[in-house]
Amino acid sequence: MLGDLLTRPLLFVGGKGGVGKTTTAAALALAAAERDRRCLLVSTDPAHSLADLFGRSIGNRETALAASLWALEIDPDQQADEHLATVKARMKRLVHPRSYAEVDRQLDLARLAPGTMEAAMLERVAEVMEMAGREYDQVVFDTAPTGHTVRLLSLPEVMAAWTDGLLGHRERSAQLGSALRHLGGGRKKGDDLSLLESAADHETGSRDEELNDVLQARRRKFVRAREQLLDPAVASFLMVVNPDRLSVLETIKAAEMLRRFSVPVTGLVVNRVLPDDADGVFLAARRRQEAAYLEEIDRAFARLPRVRVPLLPGDVHEIEALLALGRRIVGAPPPA
């Protein structure tokens, strides 16, 4: 049992595709709500699986699901569009109306550049993380499959360093024209819209200060997110694994990477373990194969608290079934 999983305000649930992340995150969110912890369940998965799971539309705003439980599906597309609209408006205040069409063209191109969606998404994630321990006692992130999550989580550091670079850049007072030309061609991989914001930084005076404030605020947001993420008293990372070869391999790799970034991994849910009473020749063969992977999991994660969850006869959709799963992972709530 992972009894202390719901004692920190931030919980990230990660793992390979299809292992049961969304199910586990929802189960734990329900368990948190059952403990009267105001809980926000957040999905960063563009597939919008929370809506499917709870059988209702949720979308890009906090939506009440049950007592003490809210959900939010961050939409990277919408997020990037909103960000782009802000940047466009800001740049148009700095150029002659004659150049508006060119500003639009450049920024519409940037919308498609690698990194743009992730940057917009990450900024939103950072904002939602800020709500943990304030508006909500518990924020549970149902993340996209492992590789992406780990990369995303490692970005705040990069983003902060980047914004620092931009601040230095604008002090050298680059010309908007040359900045736009620079953006038009030869964009380096990983550029995001924050670079475009710096293109507007050619003016001095109050506008300059305003931009400086915007960049500084952005930087603080990412630094703060990173601090939260690395603070074992604030954040925990729960990994979900299935007892099969690919899932085990990927989870071992992900755990190593998280450790390298000093992200506190606090537990492991071994999901879809064949129940003892499942009978038949076919299942006996499967169970033998599974036993080897269960052993490997125990060996590789000997120091990590973990809980086994059986393969259930059907998909887990009903609230009661999800809550039962949550209790299996963190235990029943203490009597009132």
Ligand X SMILES: Nc1ncnc2c1ncn2[C@@H]1O[C@H](COP(=O)(O)OP(=O)(O)OP(=O)(O)O)[C@@H](O)[C@H]1O
Sketch the per residue contact string, 136 through 155, with ligand X: x for CB under 6 A, - otherwise.
---------x----------
- Closest CB 314 distance from ligand X, rounded Å: 7
Task: Choose from Mg ion, ligand X, none: what does 138 bind? Cβ within 5-8 Å by kind.
Answer: none
Question: Segment contacting ligand X (CB under 6 A): 81-89, 111-119, 294-302, 305-313?
Answer: 305-313
Alpha-carbon distance 238 to 21, whole Å?
A: 9
CB 110 within 8 Å of CB 196: yes
The verdict on 24 binding Mg ion (CB under 5 A) reads no
Q: Which one among 24, 44, 49, 198 touches Mg ion, defined by CB under 5 A?
A: 49
The verdict on 49 binding ligand X (CB under 6 A) reads yes
- Closest CB 15 distance from ligand X, rounded Å: 6
The verdict on 328 binding ligand X (CB under 6 A) reads no
Alpha-carbon distance 269 to 15, whole Å?
A: 10
Question: Segment contacting ligand X (CB under 6 A): 19-27, 70-78, 147-155, 175-183?
Answer: 19-27
Task: Choose from Mg ion, ligand X, none: what does 315 bind? Cβ within 5-8 Å by kind.
Answer: ligand X
Report the site for ligand X in 271-300 (rule: CB under 6 A): 271-272
Alpha-carbon distance 87 to 70, whole Å?
A: 30
Q: Burial of 75 by CB count in 10 Å (0-12 exposed, 13-18 middle, 19+ buried)?
A: buried
- Closest CB 243 distance from ligand X, rounded Å: 11
Q: Which one among 19, 32, 160, 196 touches ligand X, defined by CB under 6 A?
A: 19
**DSSP letters along 191-258, please?**
--HHHHHHHTTT--THHHHHHHHHHHHHHHHHHHHHHHHH-TTTEEEEEEE-SSHHHHHHHHHHHHHH
Q: Burial of 125 by CB count in 10 Å (0-12 exposed, 13-18 middle, 19+ buried)?
A: buried
Q: What are phi and psi of 80, to 5 degrees?
A: -65, -40
Nearer to Mg ion, 48 or 306 (CB): 48
Q: Name the E strands within the chain.
A: 10-15, 39-43, 63-66, 69-73, 138-142, 235-241, 265-273, 306-310
Nearer to ligand X, 214 or 316 (CB): 316
Binding site for Mg ion (CB under 5 A): 21-22, 49
Q: Would you tell me which residues interact with ligand X (CB under 6 A)? A: 15, 17-23, 45, 49, 145, 271-272, 309, 311-312, 315-316
